Structures are given as structure tokens and as C-alpha cells.
Structure 1
């Protein structure tokens, strides 16, 4: 059965996945990954109900513009166009409730920056440890290879998988686009939900964007280092997503869209039923992903020092065979083709599976008029 085949892909960094058909290796420490830039101005501070604190930073002073390649970058305030077909809404077999990232009351002209990513609040070694050599990773979902990818859209179920206390592992539900000559040199961009006690200090599901600059061996997420240009004044990257799905109860999802602007070539991230833009990665950052991607990944992963030897939960913490209302899922998966049109991925290039079937599985893989879909996840060693 195709959905039960072993899945081997390589996680290059925290919240960034690179898929490759043959190559698997441990990641290496990247240069300057621990460098977190300070901000030049705080216009307003917002304390959220869940305790998160955001600074509303002048949009032109957000930390991403400390990047040498973005010193004279002209900010793009909105996409020049969206992929064709976004207005076609899939008919859902089941009932889901849409959730969204943390919404922060920042003034227009500013962007919210999560305060706990400041240098004096997260030691530099924390980031280095997350992506150090020897980091273990496991995953279950769909890898997609050997095709031109100009974007992807998917509906991701939101869960809070259990990650052990005093543990530096993380567990995520994620979509990803990559391109590069091999695993060690691949560029990657992605977005989704993750639980990471070592990064956030709690076990809440949080929304992140992440990227890898393969030629420089650099990785990052959100605003922890320069690279992602945010234009939305309300979405708090790194913020809590709630409510989350309940086992055998209400199911909550988020729609995530990543796409290449056909005019500016920037890679945009949008969320929700209305495809609200959050921001973008300028194409000038990338060596291999500047034009297009050639592989993608949709599903779940766990990563950290003990992700394989003492594995956390993935997805809902239940095996994929448990099905609807019990297992995590990603559905309505589409890609953007060279004509800027949303299409169903080529079924012959999609490979559902798991890297370790005793801990995590994929099941229910299929294709319909609205794309691919699959259940995934499992208890890891928390049985």
C-alpha cells in the first residue's frame, strides 16, 4: 500500500524541511544563525491575554532590513496578483472551524514583533543547539519530488502534541517548498504550526514561518534574524494558535498559502479563508529558490536532540489509521504551476509515508478535485 511505505526526508533546520529522494545526512551549524538583531524603535507594546508581549515596530525598521542584501530593498506592500483559482472554494466532506495566528492590535505602519525573541531573553546558544550536528528528526506526510513548484496551498489541522518537559525537541505540522542541487545546498521556505518548549517556553501550538539559505548554510524563523519582510500590522508571528482540535470532538484548521509573485518574484505567505497576506521573502535572498521550487513536503515532523531516541508526539498524538476527528490531517493540497494557476499535484510524484512506522504513520492518502489529502501522526515514545 502506497501510504505505508517508509518515508525518508531530511530536516535541515528548526521549522525548515528539505526533501530529497536519495540523500540523508545530519545538519551542520550555520554561520550567524544565533545573531538576533535589536530593534531601533518601539512605537507601542501590546500584552496579549495569553501572556505574550509584542512590540509594534515601525515597518521600515523591522529587523529584516539589517540583512546586507535588503539594505536598499523597496518594500512590496501587497502581492501584484494571487494564484488563479483561489476563488474556488473546496466543498468540505466534514465540518471544520477556521482559526488564525495571534492577532495583535498594532497601528497601521507598524508590524508586531514577539518580545521574547530579543537577545537578552533567548540566549544565543539556544538557536545553535536546535540546529546542531546530531539533531534527530522523524516525519510522516507527503513528499513531492521532480516537479516545478511556484507555490502551494493546504488546510492544516491544528493540534498541541505532547513534548516532554525539560526537552529541546519540537513537533510541527508544516508545508514546505525547496530547491537545490543536494540536501546540503538546498534553499527552503515553509510555514505552519509547532510546539517547542525550548523555543517558546510553553507547550502551546504557535504559528511560524521558516527558511533556509542553502548556499550560506543559514537558517531562521519569524523575526529571529533578517530575511522575512512582514507587511501585515496585525499578525503576530510566533504567536499562539487557538483553539486547537479536540480528540473525537471539534476540529480546527488553518489555511496556509505560499506563492511566488509573478511580477516581483518575491515569495509570499498568506493565511485563512480570505488568503490574508502576512509578508514575503525577497527572491534576492535565495540562490536556488530564486526562480522556483522543485520539491515540496506536507505533513508533520518532530526534531531535536532526542526526536528519534525518545520521540515526542506528532499531530494529534494518534496514528493516522484512527481517521477523522482523531488523527491529524493536511488536505486540499494544491501547487501553483508556471502559469500561476493552482492545480492538483501530479499523483505520480507524490509519495506518502513515514520515516518510522512504529511511531508515526500516514494513511487515507487520496486525490480529489481539490488536491491531495492525508492523515498523519502518532504517539512517538509517549505511548
Structure 2
């Protein structure tokens, strides 16, 4: 087992501290700011879910992401051109059982669900702190790989770490791929407790991305760009089946891969790897062909992390092991032959602050790498 190495703060996502803006539904135009609010005329139907979440059903061809100028004349790709070798796929329109079932959304075929913000019933619209902002504080624990990648996957243990509802901090379990020089393109998927974004302290499913050239960072629908195609799964959806310390353990399979024909980056989720949507290759400068770095693990971020760090994972240290510490398993990368492999070199694992969060019990089996990670934060 190799010696643990500290993961630099610069390897973390720098685009996930968010500030809620706006109180009404109003139309915004590209270039005005990063805020994206849904025009009334695009809504086919609006429903309120049990628990309070509000979804607008939008025609898949009229979703706000397609108004990005870079996607002018973009034709929606409803499914990948092909899938990685050996991947089990659930047909897009079926309702198969997932490892963790999000809130049930039953949009009509041909529409997609767009989640409104819980606080003010606008879309999940936020201004995002710029890349390299000096007031962002971050800590992370996990594993990283350096080398050519065309995708990555993992099974994420679903916990609901405690985050102060009145703070702008967040706690996440994340899979991220990036590429580029000083200004990197980044794409990611995972689980977050993010009160300043969602208006609550539930664990939710999110995607995030960053345009390294223009230093614009986004989560879910906060910017135009990510194309949603699944009519049964919305970005920002709440995950109601949550693991219990020393009790039942729930997982969510996540998968990002580059379509070898269209070059779009797809997100698949759930037991049968259902297609959720994709980032069109036109959004990026550096990652439109491949990635050169992957991170799997947990991170916390926000303006009060150094003084009042939230929990990560289960809120318990990695040394406690299965059922007590959070885990990530089936960690693999996709190679140039469109096959998943377990890295044998060019990877390391560690933590930015071992007094608050740890990573441990790293091992490899036929399904990939596995790690335990997390910790109590300032509640040590």
C-alpha cells in the first residue's frame, strides 16, 4: 500500500459555492449574468411533489440549455451513440428499480423535469463565485488519477452529512473529470447537501461543470449548457433512501463517459445506468476530446469551513470501516478502447486535513478500487 499523499486544494472543484438571487420568475438573456430563470411560456405543466419540491415540465426541445449561443442549431441526442463495453443499460423510458430511488417524477414522454428553487419558486438559479476566489475555503478526502481518460464511474455511498442550514457551506460526494492547463474544463456528478442552493439540508443529486477558458462555473441549470433527456429524473432531485450509521447502506451508481462519435459527455445513473443527459462538446475548449485527471471522494466548501467545517460522508472517520464510514467502490476509468479498467498506476489518495477528514482502507478487487472516507469536521 502506497504512502498517503496530501491532495492539494487546487485539485478540488472550485465552482460549487453558490449564492441565491432573485425572487420572481422573469426572463434572462445570455451574457447578462450566470442566473437562469425559466420563462412562463416554456412550461407545459407544473407540479408540487410530496415534500415540497416543485417541477416544471418542459418540452425537451425547448429546455433553457439550448439557448446557449454555442448550441445554436444543436440537435438533441436522446441516447448515446454507443455505450462502454459490457455496460448494462436501462432503456431511457423505462422505470426500473434503482439502487437509490429519487423522488418519483412522471413527466410525459418528450418533456423533461426542471426543478425550481425550494425557497422562492424560481428555477435553481444562482450566481457563482469565480474560479480562484480568495474567500472560498475547501477540504477534501479521496483518490485521484492522472492520465488520459474518456470516462469514469463509481458507486457512491449515500449519506446526508450535517451542514448548517444558515451557512453557505456544502458537503459533497463527487466524481470529477477535468482537462486543460491553468484554466481547466471540469465536469462532475454526485451528491450534495447544499443549503444555499437548494434551500434545505437534504442530500440531492447534482451535476456541475466549469468552462476553463471563460472561468464560468455552473451547477444543474444555473447556467445554460447541460442537456437533460430523461423525463423521469430531474437535476437537483432529492434522494430519500439514505444510509444509516451501523445500519442499512444505500448506494448510487454514477458514470460519466465521452460518446466516441458525437464527443458529447454523458451522465448515466442508477442500477441499470440510465442516461440522464449530456454536456455537448461545443461547451468546452480543453475537455472536448478527453480528460487528464479524475477525482473520487468527498469535499466540503464554503466561507466558514475553516472555523466550522461541516461533516463529510457519514460524519465518521474512514478507519471505522463498512457501515460506519462512508465508502466509494467500483472506481474505474474508461480507456481509449471504450473499456473500463482499474488504474494500476498514476493514482494516489489522501486528505487535505487529517484532523477533520480521513481516507483509508484502500483496496482493489475485480470490480475496481474502493475507499472509505469522511469525518466529523469541526465536531471532532
TM-score w.r.t. the length of structure 1 is: 0.88
Inter-CA distance 81–188: structure 2 relative to 1 (3 Å threshold)? same
Which of 364, 373, 377 pairs up with 1:380? Answer: 377
CA-CA distance at 1:153 after TM superposition:
1.0
Are residues 1:235 and 2:236 paired? no
Give the equivalent residue in structure 2 for 1:178: 178
Counterpart Cα distance in 2 of 1:54 and 1:130: 30
- Distance in 2 of aligned mates of 1:245 and 1:116: 25
Aligned counterpart, 1:191: 189
Q: Residue 284 of structure 1 corresponds to which residue in structure 2?
A: 282
Deviations 1:223-257 (A, max 9, x none): 12101001111101101012100000000000001
1:45: how far off?
Answer: 1.2
- Measure, in 1, the Cα distance between the counterparts of 2:215 and 2:353: 27
Partner of 1:321: 319
Preserved contact between residue 138 and residue 301 of structure 1 (Cα < 8 Å): yes
Determine whether 1:348 maps to 2:349.
Answer: no
TM superposition shift of 1:125: 6.7
CA-atom RMSD in angstroms? 2.3
Q: 1:122 to 1:276 in 2, by over 3 A?
A: closer
Q: Residue 216 of structure 1 aligns to a residue in which SS?
A: coil
**Which residue in the other structure is 2:364 paired with?**
367
Counterpart in the other structure of 2:66: 65
Do 2:124 and 2:221's aligned partners in 1 also have CA atoms closer than 8 Å? Answer: no
* Alpha-carbon displacement from aligned partner over 1:164-187 (angstroms, at most 9, x marks no partner): 2311100000101000112xx100
Contact 2:15 2:129 in 1 (8 A): no
Secondary structure at the aligned position of 1:308 is classed as: helix
Separation of aligned partners in 1, 2:166 and 2:15:
18
CA distance, structure 1, for counterparts of residue 144 and residue 265 of structure 2 = 20
Q: How does 1:201-280 map to 2 (within 5 A)?
A: 201-280=199-278
Cα separation, 1, equivalents of 2:130 and 2:163: 17
Q: Deviations over 1:113-140 (max 9, x none)?
A: 0022899747977534998532010000
Q: Distance in 2 between matches of 1:32 and 1:150?
A: 33
Report the Cα distance in structure 2 between the residues aligned to 1:118 and 1:313, rounded to whole angstroms.
24
Could you tell me which runs of 5 or more consecutive residues in structure 1 were left unpaired when the two chains were aligned: 17-30, 89-96
1:15 deviates by: 4.2
Q: Deviations over 1:182-217 (max 9, x none)?
A: 2xx100101000001111111100000010100010
What is the match of residue 27 of structure 1? none
Name the counterpart of 1:113: 114
- Equivalent residue number for residue 198 of structure 2: 200
Report the more deviating stretch, 69-78 or 129-138.
129-138
TM-score by length of 2: 0.89
Equivalent residue of 2:175, what SS? strand
2:20 counterpart residue number: none
Correspondences of 1:16-27 after superposition (within 5 Å):
none
* SS across alignment from 1:80: coil
Distance in 1, matches of 2:62 and 2:297, equals: 34
After superposition, the Cα gap between the structure-2 partners of 1:135 and 1:123, relative to the gap in structure 1 and judged at 3 Å, is same
Residue of structure 1 equivalent to 2:145:
144
Residue of structure 2 in register with 1:86 after alignment: 87
In the alignment, the residues of structure 2 paired with residue 203 and residue 61 of structure 1 have an alpha-carbon distance, to the nearest angstrom, of: 31
Structure 1 residues 110, 124: CA separation in 2 closer, same or farther (over 3 Å shift)?
closer
